[in-house]
C-alpha cells in the first residue's frame, strides 16, 4: 500500500528545501517549541487534559481553533499560505495531515520561542527536526526566506532585525507529520500561575517531564501600555478582569473560559500580559520599548 501521507510530507519537505539558501544546521543548543494555552476549554475540558488523554497534538485545521492567524476554511488565507510554502503538497489531503505550527527558540527563552501564541509550550525532541521546516517572518507575511534542519540561515536573519517587537521576534516552524507527547516531546513547560491549580494536577499525568518558566504578571501600573499596544478597549478589558490589580496567564484564561469576552480581545489581552508582564530588557539581542511596541501586529 502506498503511504500517501508520507508522500505528501516528503513533497512538502523537498519543496521547502529547494527554496533554502546556504546556511549552517540548526544550532544544537536550540529547540522547537509549540505554544498553547493549556487551560482553554475544549468541550468543557482543559485543553491540556485532552492533549494528554489523546497523546497527540492536533493542528488548527483539526481543532478549529488558533492563537494566531486563523482561516482554515477552503479558499481561506491559511490554506493559500500553506499551498505556496509547501508546493501544494497538502492541498488535497485531509486536515489531519497538515503541519503543526511552532517556533525555533533561537534566543533560548525559558518561556519558549513565541509566547504570543500561548503561556505554555511543548519542547520538541531533536529527532523531530528532520521533518521540520522554518520561515521568517511569520507565514502571514508571505515570507520568501526559509530553512530546514540542515540549512538554517534564518537565525542570523532574525537577529539582524533590530526593530521587531518582542512578540513578533520568532522564527516560525512547521512540524510535518504526527506530534505525539510520548515520543516527540522532551518536556511540557507551564506558566507558574497554574501551580496548585487543577491544571497542575492534570500536568502530572503527562508522559513527559513538567517544567515551569519565569511567568508573566501584569500589574495595574502598566495597564495603560495596553492602550497603545492593542487599543484602549484592551486596557479597559485588563482593568475589568484583573484580580487585586494584576493579570496572569491563569487569570486571563479564566476570563476566556467565561465566554463573556470576544476571543480576539482575550487574545490581545494575553499579548499585553506577555509583552509587559515580564522584563525583556535582559534578553540576548535586540528588544523594543513599550512605546515602540506599537509596530507589532495584533
Residue 132 is assigned to a structural domain of this protein: yes
Tell me how far CA of residue 64 lies from CA of 21, 61, 72, in angstroms: 34, 6, 8
Q: Which of 193, 212, 231 is the last residue of a domain?
A: 212
Residue 160 is assigned to a structural domain of this protein: yes
Same domain, 201 and 235: no
Same domain, 109 and 191: yes
End-to-end CA distance of the chain: 46
Which residue has cell 529547540?
31
Q: Please give the pLDDT value at position 208.
A: 99
DSSP state of 243: B
Q: Please give the pLDDT value at position 232.
A: 98
Per DSSP, the three-state class of 184 is helix
Per DSSP, the three-state class of 22 is coil
Q: Please give the pLDDT value at position 59.
A: 85
Residue 289 is assigned to a structural domain of this protein: no
DSSP string across 56-115: EE--HHHHS--SS----STT-HHHHHHHHHTTTTTTTS-GGGSPEEEEE-TT--TT-S-G
Same domain, 261 and 203: no
Q: Please give the pLDDT value at position 21.
A: 83
Which residue has cell 480576539?
264
Q: Please give the pLDDT value at position 31.
A: 97
Per-residue pLDDT tens listing for the chain (298 residues): 446 679 999 999 999 999 998 999 999 999 999 999 999 999 999 999 999 999 999 987 666 555 555 555 566 788 898 999 999 999 999 989 999 999 999 999 999 999 999 999 999 999 999 999 999 999 999 899 999 999 999 999 999 998 899 999 999 999 999 999 999 999 999 999 999 999 999 999 999 999 999 999 999 999 999 999 999 999 999 999 999 999 999 999 999 999 999 999 999 999 999 999 999 987 754 333 333 333 334 5
Same domain, 262 and 229: yes
Same domain, 239 and 123: no
* Residue percentage of the chain with pLDDT more than 90: 82
How many structural domains is the chain composed of?
2
Residue 283 is assigned to a structural domain of this protein: no
Rounded to two decimals, the pTM is 0.91
Mean pLDDT, rounded, of the chain: 91
Residue 86 is assigned to a structural domain of this protein: yes
Same domain, 94 and 234: no
Taking only the tens place, the pLDDT of each residue in 77-112 is: 888 989 999 999 999 999 899 999 999 999 999 999
Residue 287 is assigned to a structural domain of this protein: no
Q: Please give the pLDDT value at position 223.
A: 98
Residue 290 is assigned to a structural domain of this protein: no
Same domain, 25 and 143: yes
Taking only the tens place, the pLDDT of each residue in 3-12 is: 667 999 999 9
Give just the sign of the alpha carbon dihedral 22, 117, 235, 275.
negative
Same domain, 197 and 241: no
Domain range for residue 235? 217-277
Given its phi and psi angles, is residue 241 left (phi above 0), alpha (psi -120 to 50 degrees) or beta? alpha
Same domain, 222 and 207: no
Q: Please give the pLDDT value at position 214.
A: 98
Distance of CA 165 to the CA centre of its chain: 15
Same domain, 138 and 262: no
Same domain, 53 and 199: yes
Amino acid at each position: 500500500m502506498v503511504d500517501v501521507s508520507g508522500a505528501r510530507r516528503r513533497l512538502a519537505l523537498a519543496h521547502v528545501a529547494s527554496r533554502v539558501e546556504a546556511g549552517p544546521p540548526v544550532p544544537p543548543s536550540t529547540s522547537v517549541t509549540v505554544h498553547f494555552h493549556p487551560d482553554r476549554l475544549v468541550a468543557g475540558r482543559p485543553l491540556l487534559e485532552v492533549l494528554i488523554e489523546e497523546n497527540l497534538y492536533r493542528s488548527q485545521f483539526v481543532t478549529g481553533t488558533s492563537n494566531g492567524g486563523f482561516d482554515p476554511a477552503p479558499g481561506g488565507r491559511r490554506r493559500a499560505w500553506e499551498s505556496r510554502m509547501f508546493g501544494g503538497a497538502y492541498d488535497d489531503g485531509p486536515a489531519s495531515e497538515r503541519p503543526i505550527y511552532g517556533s525555533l527558540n533561537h534566543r533560548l527563552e525559558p518561556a519558549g520561542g513565541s509566547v504570543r501564541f500561548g503561556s505554555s509550550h511543548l519542547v520538541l525532541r531533536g529527532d523531530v527536526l528532520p521533518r521540520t521546516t522554518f520561515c521568517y517572518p511569520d507565514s502571514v507575511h508571505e515570507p520568501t526566506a526559509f530553512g530546514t534542519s540542515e540549512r538554517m540561515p534564518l537565525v542570523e536573519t532574525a537577529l539582524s532585525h533590530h526593530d521587531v517587537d518582542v512578540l513578533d521576534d520568532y522564527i516560525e516552524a512547521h512540524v510535518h507529520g504526527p506530534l505525539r507527547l510520548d515520543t516527540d516531546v522532551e518536556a511540557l513547560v507551564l506558566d507558574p500561575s497554574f501551580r496548585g491549580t487543577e491544571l497542575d494536577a492534570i500536568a502530572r499525568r503527562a508522559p513527559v517531564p513538567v517544567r515551569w518558566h519565569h511567568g508573566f504578571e501584569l500589574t495595574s501600573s502598566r495597564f495603560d501600555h495596553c492602550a497603545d499596544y492593542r487599543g484602549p478597549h484592551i486596557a479597559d478589558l485588563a482593568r475589568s478582569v484583573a484580580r487585586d490589580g494584576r493579570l496572569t496567564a491563569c487569570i486571563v484564561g479564566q476570563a476566556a473560559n467565561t465566554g463573556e469576552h470576544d476571543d480576539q480581545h482575550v487574545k490581545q489581552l494575553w499579548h499585553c500580559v506577555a509583552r509587559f508582564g515580564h522584563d525583556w530588557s535582559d534578553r540576548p539581542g535586540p528588544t523594543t520599548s513599550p512605546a515602540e511596541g506599537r509596530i507589532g501586529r495584533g
